[in-house]
Amino acid sequence: MELKGKTVVVTGSSRGIGEAIAEEFAKQGANIVLNARKAIPEEMLEKLQSYGVEVEAILGDVSDFNSAKHLIDQTKERFGSVDVLINNAGINRDKLVMRMDEEDFDVTYEVNLKGSFNTIRHALPLMLKQRAGSIINISSVVGETGNAGQANYAASKAGLIGLTKSVAREAAMRGVTCNAITPGFIETDMTAALSDKVQEAMLGQIPLKKFGKSKDIAETAVFLSKSEYITGQTIRVNGGMYM
Ligand code: NAI
């Protein structure tokens, strides 16, 4: 897909990987819809606009079905289409299973997995109708490997891979693609919150001996959205952490 003038929705894009994805698509000349639960920094809107594209911030919680509908409906109203949907919004509530509350599991599942279903449910009919579109779900390496202390998060991210493959199969006949990216350890606010000890241990598991950058994920998302022949795939961007 040629991205110039297309409309890209990036959920959870007030910072981190989502912000980098938005910028990478803006560089390609795509119009950007930012989303987060709380305000998006004004400087971020200005930075993206400096690429000569249109930028809209539509706040809302993706785990809420109607809020996800609002996000897609408003995008359609403003830009006329949804060409690329990036499900990036995600949270973690790390605890060992034996100490995990029901709420820790539910809220993680509701944002990471159900949130992606919610946006896909509303955007897919538009994409099928226009016979073009790309959906990219940001999963995680731990969805493939599992991780002690992240049963809720890993389960939600593994579920996202199943969602990706099923949507890919349902949408393929109309030329719509759906893929997942599984980042390894990427330097963001989410990972900065981990202790030095945990970060050190993670580094030991990465053959390339460095943490990834948000840009590594953003460039992969752009690549996937441009391809018309990659669908149902899980693309690992993890420094070799899992092969
Ligand atoms: P972050 O915590 O820095 O940013 C998350 C974004 O999602 C924020 O903009 C936040 O406002 C938004 N968000 C959270 N809940 C939301 C909701 N219910 N509705 C709308 N927006 C919501 O996280 P980071 O590190 O940038 O991660 C982005 C994605 O990449 C997440 O899905 C995360 O699970 C995934 N990931 C991150 C890795 C890392 O090493 N940083 C590794 C593997 C996956």
Q: Is the pLDDT of residue 190 over 90?
A: no
The number of the ligand 1 atom at minimal distance from the alpha carbon of 67 is 19
Indicate if ligand 1 lies below 6 Å from the C-beta of 191.
yes
Helix ranges (H only) for 90-150 are: 102-109, 115-130, 141-145
Could you read off the pLDDT of 95-150 as tens digits, one per residue?
Answer: 999 999 999 999 999 999 999 999 999 999 999 999 999 999 999 999 999 999 99
Residue 108's CATH number: 3.40.50.720
Cα 151 to averaged position of ligand 1 atoms, centre (Å): 17
Indicate if ligand 1 lies below 6 Å from the C-beta of 216.
no
Is the pTM higher than 0.85? The answer reads yes
Indicate if ligand 1 lies below 6 Å from the C-beta of 140.
yes
- Whether residue 2 lies inside any domain: the answer is no
Q: Is the pLDDT of residue 234 over 80?
A: yes
Mutual orientation of helices 42-49 and 16-27 as an angle, nearest 10°?
20
User: According to the model, what pLDDT value does residue 126 have?
Assistant: 98
Print the domain residue range for 231: 7-237
The number of the ligand 1 atom at minimal distance from the alpha carbon of 111 is 18
Confidence class for position 33, pLDDT limits 50, 70, 90: very high
- Enumerate the active-site residues: 153
- Whether residue 243 lies inside any domain: the answer is no
- Whether residue 122 lies inside any domain: the answer is yes
- The mean pLDDT value for 1-22 works out to 97
- Whether residue 82 lies inside any domain: the answer is yes
Task: Give the Cα separation of 28 and 111 in Å (integer).
Answer: 28
For the chain, the domain total comes to 1
Q: What percent of the chain has pLDDT over 70?
A: 100
- Whether residue 59 lies inside any domain: the answer is yes
The residue with tokens 């359609």 is 76
Strand order in the sheet with 176-183: 55-57, 31-34, 7-10, 84-87, 133-138, 176-183, 234-237
Task: Give the Cα separation of 213 and 178 in Å (integer).
Answer: 23
- Whether residue 242 lies inside any domain: the answer is no
